[in-house]
Amino acid sequence: MPPPFIKFHGLGNDYIVIESEHLAEIEDLGDFASRICNRHYGAGADGIAIIGKAESEVADFNVRIFNPDGSEAGLSGNGTRCAVSYLHYKKLWSANELKLSTRSGIKKYRLRQQLAPGHLAFRKRKGRTLGASGPAKIQFTRPAKLRMFGLAVIGLARFIVGMRRAFVRRIGVLRGATVSVRITMRSALTRRIERWRGRMVNVRITARLALRSL
Residue 107 has pLDDT above 80, yes or no: yes
Mean pLDDT for all residues in the chain: 78
Res. 155: pLDDT tops 90: no
Which pLDDT tens digit goes with each residue over 18-33? Answer: 999 999 889 999 999 9
Q: Mean pLDDT over residues 158-165, rounded?
A: 77
Long-range pairs for 50-55 at CB < 8 Å and ≥24 separation? Answer: 50/18, 50/19, 50/20, 50/23, 51/17, 51/18, 51/19, 51/20, 51/83, 51/86, 51/87, 52/19, 52/20, 52/21, 54/99, 54/101, 55/101
Whether the predicted pLDDT of 115 surpasses 80: no
pTM value > 0.75: no
Q: How many CB atoms lie within 10 A of CB 81?
A: 22
d(CA 146, CA 149): 5
Q: What is the pLDDT of residues 63-73, one digit of tens each?
A: 999 999 999 99
